[in-house]
Amino acid sequence: MPSKQRNVTSIALNLLDERGTYWLVDCGEGTQQQILNSPVKLGRTEKLFITHLHGDHLYGLPGLLTSRSYLGGDTPLTLYGPRGLKQFVETALEVSGAHLSYTLHLVELDEEGIIFEDESFLVETARLEHRIECFGFRIVEKDQPGKLLNEKLKELAVPPGPIYGQLKLGHTVQLEDGRTIHGKDFLGAPVPGRVVVILGDTRYCEGAKKLARGADVLVHEATFAMDKQELAYAFDHATSTDAARTAQEAGANVLIMTHLSSRYQGDSVNELLHQAQQIHGNSHLARDFWSFDIPRKV
């Protein structure tokens, strides 16, 4: 449930530098209101992933979709989620007489695996263990080309200009003097892409560890403290120690915990953080409007 300090779940992935867009994961009640107090622009939202169909991850969706129209959003939006999502969205829009000014693509998830891939990103999903069908998402930035070795080109008297741009892309170029040079021969080591894993509600499970393997950042629910382990298991939720175990065993660099029970108010949330840090030192508790920068690997 929401509290005075924390709203229900919605997470934004800022991809303005990479593709000029935002991706959202989940859309709990009040998400569009929260967005008004954040840098996120609905019109620049490209994808929205729904982990599962419980209300605290879903009830903000009809309002967000229609507000995107009112705010001038006219680019396509793709919505991913479990079976039943299409019925929920279409019913809400039809009954309320809503009209969208943009194309909405609905993708219902039937299988685990890759659900999106282009030249720069890949998204993989796997099932988690919760009371209803629930997914986690592994968002992979593909490796970037290495730096162009300008000095090496100068040694070969290759004139600066558009040619350098072609070589940076790895293309083969023929010079005016007849020489042919290959871009791959003039690039430094590739820059590894970053990996962000955002899970829906889940108890400790293999699906979560599978998605989180080697991730730069793992976003994991931590509904309860460790003294509520039996309660967490009974309701298919995780404790802060469960989240930390998953991060540690999967080799994830950073753990960010979300989805805290409303019983933890004020300083009591620090108990969850302390428990996680005993297992995985690089652990954090997300707060509303908090952001975490993921630097490129060098």
The CATH number for 96's domain is 3.60.15.10
SS3 label, residue 162: helix
Within this chain, do residues 268 and 288 fall inside the same structural domain, yes or no? yes
Are residues 166 and 255 both part of a single domain? Answer: no
* Reported confidence tier of residue 146, pLDDT bands at 50, 70, 90: confident
Name the band, by pLDDT with cuts 50, 70 and 90, for residue 296. confident
* 56 among known catalytic residues: yes
The answer, yes or no, to whether residue 279 has pLDDT greater than 90, is yes
Half-sphere exposure of 173 (CA within 13 A, CB side): 22
Same domain, 159 and 288: no
**Residue 284 annotated in ligand binding:** no
Are residues 295 and 276 located together in one domain of the fold?
Answer: yes
Same-domain status, 271 and 137: yes
- CB count within 10 Å of CB 147 equals 12
Active-site residue, selected from the candidate residues 56, 143, 227, 293: 56
Cα angle 214, 216, 218 (rounded to 5 degrees) comes to 90
Count of domains for the chain? 3
How far from the centroid of its chain's Cα atoms is residue 282's Cα? 19
Report the distance separating Cα 278 and Cα 276, nearest Å.
5
Same-domain pairing of 2 and 100: yes
pTM: 0.90
* Position 298 pLDDT exceeds 80: no
Range of the domain at 54: 1-110
Q: Is the pLDDT of residue 284 over 90?
A: yes
The answer on whether 274 is annotated among ligand-binding residues is no
Task: Centre a 10 Å sphere on the Cβ of residue 254 and count the other Cβ atoms it contains.
Answer: 17
- Would you say 130 is a known binding-site residue? yes
Q: Check residues 145 and 140 and name the one with the higher pLDDT.
A: 140
Nearest Cα neighbor of 47 from 82, 75, 9, 28 is 75
Residue 144, beta-bridge partner list: 191
Residues 213, 270: one domain?
A: yes
193 closest CA partner among 4, 10, 19, 20? 19
Is residue 185 part of an annotated ligand binding site? no
Task: Grade residue 165 by pLDDT with cuts at 50, 70 and 90.
Answer: confident
> 103 with 167, same domain?
no
